[in-house]
Structure 1
């Protein structure tokens, strides 16, 4: 549907999908706010490139569902030109001073974690209790956290919170889009038949009927392909079509156990790749770490150990 009124009035569209579109619209407005704040920031030497990136991203969140896919693709290409040309920079939004941080900690203490926890609790509650998407629950959780922060201190005005939102988005920058793009890449790979190509290649390696070797290749392949794609959810579709279904599930393995453990094997790959930006690169930016691979280096050993454990569990339990 290209008409938002028709979309929201339709009885064929679930309430969950409608609320998701509302959530995306709000995200788009916040992103547009970041765009115009950067445009007005004369201390940001890359303010025009930053504006173009955030503006086009916010525009796609706001009008993306209501324009032809071709136009969305054009906007996407234009959007990524700024990061490619290194024209997205961090603005001059002031960070809290050490004295201010210490003062607020003494006043609020460990209660500062309650708003963050509320986001996860709301998402879980929506997933378990309602038919509405947990993504909507996360949005509600953010609103609850927003209200809590206002209640914590009269200094936490909406403008202060929005300024901090802009500061955080500037720090993360274009990396914020990588998980979404990688998830879409999984669908593209599946549609392009990459799974079938993998199946043909692996058929020359795995002895026919040897489910144990099939499981080992499936688990290790999930970790490696996740490292390439940066997203286990994107990798599992391709790997299951190419390896899991013909070489594991076809011989009677329990699909529930196999699917669950294959995904956790993919998570082991997530710990080892800069492509998993939200896990491994965003913390580097937020914490201003000197080593860009510092997070990954501290996770590799654990990832390898857990990959072995998950593989053994799949062989034993399924």
Structure 2
């Protein structure tokens, strides 16, 4: 049976490969420090279950020290040439999205299969099923892309290393901010926020509760830079006590759409650098700071429309049953 531990091992091996290839890259501007940074992440993924709280805490402090003292450099590994990539894109056009679409299809299909079929229950653990199915989707998408496009054998790892170098320390923001959200929950920040919100917004109807929850998720995500950090706070403050508890909303629907509302905030904030800097890096835009602001400005209209759609979906779906 595939468990979450297997997914951690796979990711750890990937970061270990990044570290080894970076260490062997004589042209890398920060070869030793970058290799140490990716190696520490690999250690956390491979051995985190055995390190314990103290060991993992020391490892995190080491990551902050290595990544925070100075910017990590960006390697330029040789894989395929720009001419080869341009020719492939021209020839295959939108079909190039097929490997990317395999990932969500397998993630959703694997999750449903694990819950509703005997084969799925035998293959995938019932704990963190979606994450495991997501990992399987990535593996199958990689296999499909390699069989179809036939790039150099090391191209996926080398291109992954280049992209992670471009993102740098910001790649750790989701995990760090999710941990911060857990700390806020333990400190009962949600209760304090809930009291402040109820003083400003009278929770007299499901519509007001839904609007307060979704807008709160988006705004707190804009401040924190990550919906995973906002989710435990706003759900404890508004989602569970009011949308679910007072008005009887379906908790699964409320929580799922609430997270999507938070992701709308991710599109509108420079604090979510790990997400919004990726388009600028993929497009290799020269001025990354201006590019980041340009990406956010381009995303704001879509984010506001999606936020309104999420509020409507929650209002019309969460109270039907």
TM superposition score category, shorter chain reference: 0.7 to 0.9
Is it true that 1:280 corresponds to 2:281 in the alignment?
no
Moved more, 121-130 or 299-308: 299-308
Map Cα deviations across residues 264-303 of structure 1 (whole Å, 9 max, x no partner).
3222212212333453222222222332222211121232
| Partner residue in 1 for 2:144 | 148
* CA shift in 2, pair 1:211/1:104, >3 Å: closer
Q: What is the Cα deviation at residue 190 of structure 1?
A: 0.7
Superposition pairs for residues 1-318 of structure 1, below 5 Å?
A: 15-16=1-2, 19-94=3-78, 96-105=80-89, 110-130=94-114, 131=121, 132=124, 133-152=129-148, 156-207=151-202, 209=204, 212-256=207-251, 257-289=253-285, 290=287, 291-311=291-311, 314=314, 318=319
Whose Rg is larger?
Answer: 1
| Partner residue in 2 for 1:11 | none
Contact 2:79/2:152 (8 A) holds in 1? no
Q: What is the Cα deviation at residue 98 of structure 1?
A: 2.8
Q: Distance in 1 between matches of 2:315 and 2:94?
A: 43
Contact 1:175/1:282 (8 A) holds in 2? no
Q: Distance in 1 between matches of 2:183 and 2:29?
A: 36
Q: Distance in 1 between matches of 2:275 and 2:229?
A: 15
Contact 2:225/2:271 (8 A) holds in 1? yes
Contact 2:9/2:46 (8 A) holds in 1? yes
Contact 1:53/1:80 (8 A) holds in 2? no
Q: Distance in 2 between matches of 1:244 and 1:139?
A: 30
Q: Distance in 2 between matches of 1:148 and 1:140?
A: 12
* CA shift in 2, pair 1:214/1:165, >3 Å: closer
| Partner residue in 2 for 1:6 | none
Secondary structure of 2:292's aligned partner = coil
- What's the TM-score, normalizing by structure 2? 0.82
Map Cα deviations across residues 91-118 of structure 1 (whole Å, 9 max, x no partner).
1313533322234346655543332222
* CA shift in 2, pair 1:145/1:221, >3 Å: closer
* CA shift in 2, pair 1:64/1:208, >3 Å: closer
Map Cα deviations across residues 183-209 of structure 1 (whole Å, 9 max, x no partner).
222212111211111123234323464
Moved more, 49-58 or 275-284: 275-284
Q: Distance in 1 between matches of 2:157 and 2:207?
A: 53
Unpaired segments of 5 or more residues in structure 1?
1-14
Q: Distance in 1 between matches of 2:199 and 2:10?
A: 50
Q: Distance in 2 between matches of 1:219 and 1:208?
A: 14
* CA shift in 2, pair 1:241/1:146, >3 Å: closer
- What's the TM-score, normalizing by structure 1? 0.83
